[in-house]
Structure 1
Amino acid sequence: MLTHHLSFFKRPWWGVMALTFAAFIFNTTEFVPVGLLTAIGNSLDMRPTDVGVVMTIYAWTVSVASLPLTLFVREVERRTLLMRVFIVFILSHIVTGVAPNFEIFVLGRIGIAFAHAVFWSISIPLVVRLVPPDGERRALAMISIGTSVAMVAGVPIGRAIGDTFGWRATFQIIAGAAVLGMGALWLTLPKLDSQGSGSLNSLPKLLKTPVLVALFAVTVLTVCAHFTSYTYLEPFARAVTGASNIEVTFLLVLFGAAGVPAAVCFSRFYANRPRRFLLWTLCALAACLLLLWPCGQYVGTLSMLLLFWGVAIICFGLAMQAHVLRLAPDAADIAISMFSALYNIGIGAGALVGKFVARDVGLAWIGMFGAAVAVLGAVVCWLAFMAARRGTRRAAPLLTH
């Protein structure tokens, strides 16, 4: 009887929902320091912009660990692997929440980053495997909603908890939520082998795919551009816009709320013109970053800008993941782990660039620097697609003879 009741939860979309909740937890903890920089800095006797370096450390740990860890666990059954990942995740949050100094805080975040590296390397391919082919875009959109809800609710609620009970409570509550997520995954996921995970032998083939390599470069540039500004959105809103605590929380909520229209846009428009869709997201992101300072003079105009900015960056992430999966179907885990690693190199680079810009030039300039990098990413993407199109045209006559 118990087995019969449990089998009710072993359905594809239950598993997708559990992975969506897990994505919410992982994205909440990745970005929650953005809303807590001031609180952590005050507690550890550091400047908020100096605390921001933890974003770089976290991101670069993920980038370095993603591929080696993915290769190391490639033969492990996926549900069992997720249970182990969550154990590391929970224990590392406990360490982070009780850290007496910045060094221990960073140590805890590094443990979380290891769990993050494995989770995002396997979760996207898992979601695609759980559903029928005609449900792939919907499943990817659901994962993006988990990411978006993290921005809408997770990061602002984490900030609110930090303001009320202290920043340490935020990380302990995330650990509690992770226990629930772990239970949901165990209950809903069937046992899944490491199908399509790839191996070290997959790397040369992936690196010989010119469009894929170019898109990896675009990922680093675009994410760097985004996080040059986004990492320091809280101090920017305070110093440039003059926003209050409540208004800063509202702005963070609004940015995350963009995930819902972003998921709709991706589901509706990506399949028809995937390359054009990706290019438009890059152009929109560059425009939003360029307008950050002029729109940042007032809370109202900054609010509208953040909504468009959020749609652009989330659509970019979805479109890029879909492109990577399409270009590397036989080594999905390896390709996504490389994407995740490079994405996090971009996060770390952006946080670092933003720190120097904010400190040496001024917070008002973070958008300008980010926009310049975003334009470079758009140009590289356009050139890659043009080269791929020429290659296709040259191959066409050969195929007809």
Structure 2
Amino acid sequence: MSSPAPVTDSGSPTAEATSGWQWLAVAVLSLSTFVVVTSEMLPVGVLTPMADGLDISTGTAGYSLTVTGLVAAVTAPSVPRLLGGLDRRLVLAVAMVVLAVGNALTAVAGGLGLLMVSRVVIGFGMGAVWGLASAVATRLVAPRNAALAVSFAVSGVAAASVVGVPLGTLVGNAFGWRAAFGCLAGAALLLAAGLLLALPRLPRPAAPDPAPDGRRAGLWTPAVGVGLTLIALLVTAHFAAYTYVRPVLEERTGLTAGSIALLLLVYGLFGLVGNFAAGAAAAGRARRTVLGLALGIGTAIALLAVLGTVVGAAWGAIALWGLAYGGLSVGGQIWMSQAAPHRVEQVTGLYVGVFTAAIALGAFLGGTVVESAGITTLLWSAAALALAALAVGLTGPGPAARR
């Protein structure tokens, strides 16, 4: 296997074909997004024991996702503006070290204060890595493989549900929730080294070519605005409900901890299928694909609200939920890149900022509704938000369909 392929000043690979080493670099980047999202989402799988161990309510423990999401929401869109000419490879490696520190602090937290500090640190690492991942992925491979590289990089998000959260839940059940976060800290350090070894030097991307009238290509377009609004509503709906999926399955469906871990694995497996299916579909029909995902998410949450006490129906709803939400990250990313093709790094950071802000808002709203009105009201509220997202997508413009 050859060394990392050289890139031009704009960051594009100089070879027409993608080498094995370049695909290895994409794989390391994908593993990094996997660990980032697992670090963010692991409290979902260990929410009850973590709350008990810190002597706080499950609603308060769920707010830890809100803190992480808020910090990442500010970090992701800021990173492309602040990096200047810094090597993106070095930035990604440092961000993974920051993530490792955050997970280590979570593992040793003795109360709510240090837990929240640790989640702030995780938010900084998460925002930087996720905000750069898709834009960097396109620079690691030959131009003809760019879309596939983005799908693989973003697949780490879906794979976090397939392996990360369920495996973390199993580790938490067997060895305690602190051990699960300790494992994530070690994995983040290993990947920091892997990024330095596998990725080539990645300078600042070249500025977009000016339009015929001399102005730079704009970032804000109607399609970008509609896409960001749709994503904000959908992700808020998803995390309002999904943050509390373990209490839902415990209280309404009556599942044991082991059964819940298995069901989360099913959710993740369907999510991984949804990621690659949506990536392939959105390349040509981004708007239609994302609208289909919105319908799937709303339907799944509504099914849990209506038939959540029936074990078989709950399994079906969780599978549909995983399939639909698993494709949302890559589907939304392709929507954004097609809506602002000349400002990919900037629009990606903005997209991830909105995405993570919606995670924070969803976790906060979910905790508030659970504490004040109960789980059933939470599920119906989340389903209504998903349908609102569908309405926005149906009435507003999307990116032009590609043949």
**Could you tell me the TM-score, scaled by structure 1's length?**
0.89
Taking the TM superposition and a 5 Å limit, the aligned residue runs for 1:320-335 are: 320-335=332-347
Answering whether residue 197 of structure 2 is matched by residue 187 of structure 1, we say yes
Q: 1:95 aligns with which of 97, 105, 127?
A: 105
- Tell whether the 8 Å contact from 2:162 to 2:272 is kept in structure 1 after alignment: no
Moved more, 262-271 or 371-380: 262-271
Secondary structure of the 2:56 match is: coil
The verdict on how the C-alpha distance between 1:232 and 1:197 changes in structure 2, with shifts beyond 3 A counting, is: farther
Paired AA for residue 18 in structure 1:
V
CA-CA distance at 1:11 after TM superposition: 2.3
Q: 2:327 aligns with which of 308, 315, 331?
A: 315
Q: 1:271 aligns with which of 275, 283, 301?
A: 283
Secondary structure of the 2:342 match is: helix
Paired AA for residue 335 in structure 1:
V
The verdict on how the C-alpha distance between 1:204 and 1:139 changes in structure 2, with shifts beyond 3 A counting, is: closer
Answering whether residue 122 of structure 2 is matched by residue 112 of structure 1, we say yes
Taking the TM superposition and a 5 Å limit, the aligned residue runs for 1:239-250 are: 239-250=251-262
The verdict on how the C-alpha distance between 1:15 and 1:132 changes in structure 2, with shifts beyond 3 A counting, is: same
Secondary structure of the 1:46 match is: coil
- Tell whether the 8 Å contact from 2:93 to 2:191 is kept in structure 1 after alignment: no
- Tell whether the 8 Å contact from 1:152 to 1:257 is kept in structure 2 after alignment: yes
Q: Tell me the distance in 2 between the aligned counterparts of 1:271 and 1:7.
A: 27
Q: Tell me the distance in 1 between the aligned counterparts of 2:251 and 2:101.
A: 36
Secondary structure of the 2:327 match is: helix
Identity across matched positions, percent: 26
Deviations 1:213-263 (A, max 9, x none): 121111111101111110100000000000101111111111111133213
The verdict on how the C-alpha distance between 1:229 and 1:203 changes in structure 2, with shifts beyond 3 A counting, is: farther
Answering whether residue 50 of structure 2 is matched by residue 40 of structure 1, we say yes
Deviations 1:298-321 (A, max 9, x none): 232211211111111122221110
Answering whether residue 225 of structure 2 is matched by residue 213 of structure 1, we say yes
Q: Tell me the distance in 2 between the aligned counterparts of 1:311 and 1:75.
A: 39
CA-CA distance at 1:365 after TM superposition: 2.5
CA-CA distance at 1:268 after TM superposition: 3.8
Moved more, 184-193 or 290-299: 290-299
Taking the TM superposition and a 5 Å limit, the aligned residue runs for 1:1-400 are: 6=3, 11-196=21-206, 205-207=218-220, 209-385=221-397
Q: What RMSD, in angstroms, separates the aligned Cα atoms of the two structures?
A: 2.3
Deviations 1:113-141 (A, max 9, x none): 10111111111101112122332232222
Paired AA for residue 231 in structure 1:
T
Deviations 1:131-171 (A, max 9, x none): 22332232222224322221121111111222222221111
Secondary structure of the 1:65 match is: helix
CA-CA distance at 1:329 after TM superposition: 2.7
- Tell whether the 8 Å contact from 2:106 to 2:178 is kept in structure 1 after alignment: yes
- Tell whether the 8 Å contact from 2:2 to 2:21 is kept in structure 1 after alignment: no
Paired AA for residue 348 in structure 2:
I
**Could you tell me the TM-score, scaled by structure 2's length?**
0.89
Gaps of 5+ in 1: 393-401
Secondary structure of the 1:259 match is: helix
Paired AA for residue 50 in structure 1:
T
Paired AA for residue 66 in structure 1:
A
Paired AA for residue 64 in structure 1:
V
The verdict on how the C-alpha distance between 1:213 and 1:309 changes in structure 2, with shifts beyond 3 A counting, is: same
CA-CA distance at 1:107 after TM superposition: 0.5
Gaps of 5+ in 2: 6-18, 209-214
Secondary structure of the 2:38 match is: helix
Deviations 1:91-126 (A, max 9, x none): 222222112221111111111110111111111101
Q: Tell me the distance in 2 between the aligned counterparts of 1:254 and 1:188.
A: 32
The verdict on how the C-alpha distance between 1:140 and 1:223 changes in structure 2, with shifts beyond 3 A counting, is: same
Paired AA for residue 330 in structure 2:
L
Deviations 1:31-63 (A, max 9, x none): 000011111111111111221111111111111
Paired AA for residue 55 in structure 2:
D
Secondary structure of the 1:106 match is: helix
- Tell whether the 8 Å contact from 1:196 to 1:330 is kept in structure 2 after alignment: no
Paired AA for residue 318 in structure 1:
V
Moved more, 28-37 or 97-106: 97-106
Q: Tell me the distance in 2 between the aligned counterparts of 1:92 and 1:290.
A: 35
Moved more, 101-110 or 322-331: 322-331
The verdict on how the C-alpha distance between 1:98 and 1:375 changes in structure 2, with shifts beyond 3 A counting, is: same
CA-CA distance at 1:279 after TM superposition: 1.4
The verdict on how the C-alpha distance between 1:81 and 1:264 changes in structure 2, with shifts beyond 3 A counting, is: closer
Runs of 4+ in 1 over 4 A off after TM superposition: 4-10
- Tell whether the 8 Å contact from 1:141 to 1:266 is kept in structure 2 after alignment: no
Deviations 1:162-215 (A, max 9, x none): 2222221111110111122122212211111120588xxx999323x1210121
CA-CA distance at 1:26 after TM superposition: 0.7
Paired AA for residue 59 in structure 2:
T
Greater percentage in helix: 1
